[in-house]
Amino acid sequence: MKTVYFDNAATTQIRSEVINKMTEVMRNDYGNASSSHSFGRSSKSLIENSRKAIASYLNVSAGEIVFTSGGTEADNLVLQSVVRDLKVKHIITSKIEHHAILHTIEQLEKEYDLAISYVNVDKTGTIDYAHLEELLDISKKTLVSLMHINNEIGNILDIKRVAGLCKDKDALFHSDTVQSVGHYALDLQEVQLDFLAVAAHKFHGPKGVGFAFIRKNSGLKPLIFGGEQERGLRAGTESVHNIVGIEEALKHAYDNLDKESAYVRSLKQYFIEQLKLKIPLIKFNGNSGDMDKGTYTLVNVCLPVSPEKASMLLFQLDLKGIACSKGSACQSGSSKGSHVLAEILSDEDLSKPSIRFSFSIYNTKDEVDYVINVLNELITSSLN
């Protein structure tokens, strides 16, 4: 059976170069980086060299990179610490953020005297920047947390504009950049945000490792206590091979960014063209069908299938060897629908199946053709 992996927004295939580098480290550099002997010093050197390399890609200092287990931990580190330690009293976010943001904020609201504001979004999921500016006028110490690229509908935040608004209003700015770092260049001297979260497995690196960017002199304190690893901000023996893996993945992502992004962009463009040709009643959710306002890595579509036939569609695609998603991977085990789509779609469209297809350098036009044909067959049969 033919298999097609179009769920790269959930996780990506690890590059062979990254696997080789990580294997080499696991085989040869097994010392504890906190040990003072030569084995430990070798591991410590690898970690610090990776930290410096990652910092250079973002144009920040090495001391502003804190390695974590992934994007969720990085988001939690920032959100919990700014409330607990920096005495933030007001958080501005949106209702279409990742649950790593929304659920953390919900818990913080229960524990602290905290005001939560949700910035308006329109029917495409685009942030209302005028409303954001109004919310920033509240005279409390404020953190804005808005993701750079939405993981479900692919909308791109004007992150530089938001950073400017926050700076003008003396507010802190945190962004979940899990879907953007490794796919877009980001200069943090030009974009003056205070915190961001990154996960390696979104750009062909290993699962279980990421990092937080924490602007120097922020005053953040750790969530995990123990040793003095990560400059005291994240205790625990470092996963050396994973840290080297994220640096190697980011290196290849940015060294090949122009060529690889152009290739993936062409796949998405072709996918959109074929969908419109073969399934003219299809709708694109958010800005995912817009090559300028949406990321080049994914498409989220509402299919013309009756509610009665909708529940089996993902299962039928899986039987045909096609991997895709009805929303974020974090929701796949839940019976609830997408909270993102619930904010932007009509009740009628919410009753129809919406599916996210996401692409990488390892996909091909032949795979696009196969998926389009299968979709067309399934939709045609569901209408009969």
Active-site residues, by number, are 330
* Structure tokens given for 356: 């996210």
Cα separation values, 196 from 193, 213, 245, 282, 285, Å: 8, 5, 19, 35, 26
Residues 354 and 177: beta-carbon distance below 8 Å: no
Amino acid sitting at position 267? L
3-state percent helix, strand, coil for the chain, nearest multiple of 5: 45, 15, 40
Residue 47 burial (CB count, 10 A) = 20
Whole-angstrom Cα Rg for the chain = 21
- CB atoms inside a 10 Å sphere around CB 280: 8
Write phi, then psi, for 270 (nearest 5 degrees).
Answer: -65, -40
227, 250, 354 from 152: Cα distances, Å? 37, 22, 10
Angstrom distance (rounded) from CA 327 to CA 6: 13
In the block, tokens 């579509």 appear at 301
Residue 41 to residue 35: CA distance in whole angstroms: 7
CA distance 102 to 99: 5
CA angle 221, 225, 228 (to 5 degrees): 80
Partnered with residue 196 across adjacent β-strands are 175, 213
Closest CA to 105 of 125, 127, 128, 75: 75
Q: Which residues contact 84 (CB under 8 A, 6 or more apart)?
A: 112, 221
